[in-house]
Each structure stands twice: as structure tokens, then as C-alpha cells.
Amino acid sequence: MNQFTIEPNQFLNISIKAFYHSDYFGGGDRWRIGGTIENVICTLKNDITPFPETVLQIAVQNLSKILSNDLPEIQRLTRLNNLTVCVVPRAKVNYNPNQLLFKSTIHNVVNQLGIFNNGIDFITRHKDTRTTHRDRVGFGGNGDLPYPGITKDTCNISTVVRNSNILLIDDLYTKTVNVDEDAIQALLDAGANSVTFYAIGKNVYR
């Protein structure tokens, strides 16, 4: 696991301590290689060609191993024993269950670990946004691309985040997209005491 800092910009007012499991190399064929970070993330998005159940479950098992190792380490490094785990929601309101396996796997691991508060449903999408990773090839769908405040405009945020220390999780961090920065700021504006960020992959190309 690696550590970095998310710097302030027009989406985010303060620096945020952040972690990621592994570098993510987009644009090639690594997503076809089972067990790679690129494969786990792309498989669990399950957007273009639906994967068979056996392939999805292998990706779920790989993600579970990553989370089971990394999340306790984040707790140790931050010295926060009351972290509430939240997840950055996907871009659209409606997905089928096999497109929400990233979120459900986090839910299951958090419950199994028993050392975090489960806030998996504390941020829920009520309005579609454009799917940033597919918008580059013309398949972003309906809604807006990221702008400052898009999370608050398109999501419901539970009042339970107030005064909580949040561990916000996303599958992939890309510096220039700013979805994660905006979600962090939305949690802080909703009264979160602190936000720590964690991604499975960190894009090295952008």
C-alpha cells in the first residue's frame, strides 16, 4: 500500500491524507490479465461486455484480499479507531447488482473486519452524471461532467457523517477528474470531522 496527498484545488479546500493499493496503468491490455489491479477494477465495473459470474467472483475475491489487508493498515497509520467507511457512488442512479459488486464487497469486508463503522450507503446518487472513464470514447451517457459541487447536487449525504471520521473509498483515483476531491469536500461540508481517502488503484497516466 502507498500513501500520497490530495492537494487543494477548486474542488477541495484542504489537503487530504490518502492511500492507494497499487498503480493503475490504463490504455493497454493489463485489464485482461487476471489478478491485476486493472483487471479487478475493470471487471467489477462490468460496463461494456458483461462478465460471467465465475469471472466476477474471482475479482470479488481478489478485491476482498486487498481490502482485508489494506483497511486495518490505514486504521493503524491514521491512529483513528472510529473510522466510518463510505464509498464514492457510481455515476448513474441505476445499476444492476453485478455492476455494484465493488460496493457490496466493501460492505462485506467492513462487516467481517468489525473494526470500522459501516457507512457504505451514506452517499447515494439521485441524479445521473456522466461516466468519466467512458466519456472519452463517447459513451458517458446523461448528466454533467465533474464541476465543483456536483456531489452535493446529485447525491444524498446522510446526516450521520456529521462529527464522524470518514474513510472514503473509490476504485480508481485520477488526479485530473476531481470526482474524489468533490466528494471529500461534500463530506466536510456536511460536517465530517475528517476525511481520509483510499483507492484501489491510482492512475499513473493522468
Q: Give the domain CATH number at 185.
A: 3.40.50
- Cell numbers placing 192: 465530517
**Structural domain total, the chain:** 1
Instruction: Place 37 in a pLDDT band, splitting at 50, 70 and 90.
Output: confident
- Residue 103's SS3 state is helix
pLDDT digits (tens, 9 = 90+) for 45-67: 877 668 888 989 999 999 999 99
Rounded to 5°, angle at Cα 193 from 192 and 196: 85
- The residue range of the domain holding 181 is 2-203
| Entry pTM | 0.91
- Report whether 142 contacts 106 (CB < 8 A): no
